[in-house]
């Protein structure tokens, strides 16, 4: 079970937390944790957290899931971010045998054909590496924001992830897109050039498109699917069913 504060006394649930500057929030969150992990997709929210963690809580491990299908711009940004903040970002990659089994069964781009195939691809390329990244972690920090989509409107500052036996903290839950942009400008934070080309949310290249004016920030993710709450399974709340894991 998680070490550090219990969820009912977690600092992220205290009344003062909402009024704290980000650096203070992160320092408080990380204090007393033995193995705090921040997972970054190198999106703009995650770049804000990386910048703030490098000052507030350098003991927090920063990890990314190198799915094998990322944009070249995202891969370049990993190296640029390490250099800018003097940090090392841990890369977690898919298991080669599991990936080969997925490709054999569904085809490399089989995720366009069915939701089942898409979940199977996300399981091999993201969920399984994530499970390894979070092994033994007592705190998982994410860059989720309530304003990113209707499905994320209820994102709390902290919650128990019972399946992973840890506390999941979302210190940017109440930040707006304007807050994010202001922080980036004020702190010279490097960001993915794709954001300026209409991609507010950036995942794997074949599964991400630019959005149109008025669309949800996450409308460009798996745009061919109809489910309005579509996610890759990384951030499915305990009360919601998780996507099926990849077929064996
Ligand atoms: S986002 Fe697309 S390419 Fe990436 S893991 Fe999921 S289905 Fe596969």
Atom index in ligand 1 nearest the CA of residue 69 equals: 3
Task: List the domain range (segments joined by +) for residue 190.
Answer: 7-196
Q: What is the pLDDT of residue 150?
A: 81
Question: How far from 1 is each of 67, 97, 200, 233, CA to CA, in Å?
Answer: 28, 30, 35, 21
Pocket test of ligand 1: the residue of 121, 209, 222, 231 to mutate, having most ligand atoms within 8 Å of its CB, is 121
Does 1 fall in a domain?
Answer: no
Does 154 fall in a domain?
Answer: yes
Does 234 fall in a domain?
Answer: no
Q: What is the pLDDT of residue 240?
A: 46
| Interval between CA 202 and ligand 1 midpoint (Å) | 11
Does 12 fall in a domain?
Answer: yes
Does 225 fall in a domain?
Answer: no
HSE-CB of 147 using CA atoms within 13 angstroms: 10
Atom 2 (ligand 1) nearest CA: 207
Is 232 a known active-site residue? yes
Does 101 fall in a domain?
Answer: yes
The CA radius of gyration of the chain, in Å to the nearest whole number, is 17
pLDDT per position as a tens digit, 169-215: 999 999 999 999 999 999 999 999 999 999 999 999 999 999 998 88
Does 205 fall in a domain?
Answer: no
**Which residues face 39 on adjacent strands?**
63
Q: Which residue has the higher pLDDT, 239 or 126?
A: 126
| Distance from C-alpha of 4 to C-alpha of 166, rounded to nearest angstrom | 10
| Interval between CA 134 and ligand 1 midpoint (Å) | 20
Q: What is the pLDDT of residue 238?
A: 46
Task: Indicate which CATH number applies to the domain containing 58.
Answer: 3.40.50.620
Among residues 122, 204, 207, 232, the one annotated as catalytic is 232
Q: What pLDDT band is residue 24 in, cutting at 50, 70 and 90?
A: very high
pLDDT per position as a tens digit, 45-96: 999 999 999 999 999 999 999 999 999 999 999 999 999 999 999 999 999 9
| Interval between CA 125 and ligand 1 midpoint (Å) | 7
**What average pLDDT does range 123-133 have in this prediction?**
97
Pocket test of ligand 1: the residue of 67, 244, 247 to mutate, having most ligand atoms within 8 Å of its CB, is 67
Helix pair 115-122, 96-106: axis angle to 10 deg: 170
Q: What is the pLDDT of residue 137?
A: 96
Q: What is the pLDDT of residue 135?
A: 96
Q: Which residues line ligand 1 (CB under 6 A)?
A: 67, 69, 111, 118, 121-122, 125-126, 203-204, 206-207, 232
**What average pLDDT does range 117-135 have in this prediction?**
97
pLDDT per position as a tens digit, 36-46: 999 999 999 99
Does 228 fall in a domain?
Answer: no
Q: Structure pTM?
A: 0.88
Q: What pLDDT band is residue 15 in, cutting at 50, 70 and 90?
A: confident
pLDDT per position as a tens digit, 219-248: 888 888 876 666 666 776 543 444 433 322
Q: What is the pLDDT of residue 235?
A: 73
| Interval between CA 222 and ligand 1 midpoint (Å) | 9
Q: How many domains, the chain?
A: 1
Q: What is the pLDDT of residue 237?
A: 58
Atom index in ligand 1 nearest the CA of residue 126 equals: 5
């Amino acid at each position: 079970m998680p070490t550090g504060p219990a969820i009912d006394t977690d600092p992220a649930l205290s009344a003062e937390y909402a009024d704290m500057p980000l650096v203070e929030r992160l320092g408080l969150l990380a204090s007393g944790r033995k193995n705090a992990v921040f997972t970054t997709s190198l999106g703009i929210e995650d770049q804000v957290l990386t910048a703030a963690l490098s000052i507030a809580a350098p003991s927090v491990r920063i990890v990314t899931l190198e799915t094998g299908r990322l944009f070249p711009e995202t891969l370049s940004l990993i190296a640029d971010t390490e250099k800018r903040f003097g940090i090392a970002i841990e890369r977690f990659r898919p298991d080669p045998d599991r990936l080969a089994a997925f490709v054999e069964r569904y085809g490399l781009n089989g995720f366009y054909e069915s939701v089942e195939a898409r979940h199977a691809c996300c399981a091999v390329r993201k969920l399984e590496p994530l499970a390894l990244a979070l092994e033994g972690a007592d705190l998982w920090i994410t860059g989720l924001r309530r304003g990113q989509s209707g499905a994320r409107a209820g994102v709390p500052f902290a919650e128990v992830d019972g399946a992973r036996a840890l506390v999941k903290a979302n210190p940017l839950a109440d930040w707006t897109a304007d807050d994010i942009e202001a922080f980036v400008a004020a702190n010279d934070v490097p960001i993915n050039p794709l954001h300026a080309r209409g991609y507010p949310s950036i995942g794997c290249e074949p599964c991400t498109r630019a959005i149109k004016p008025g669309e949800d920030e996450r409308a460009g993710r798996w745009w061919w699917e109809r489910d309005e709450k579509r996610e890759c399974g990384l951030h499915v709340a305990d009360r919601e069913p998780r996507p099926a894991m990849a077929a064996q």
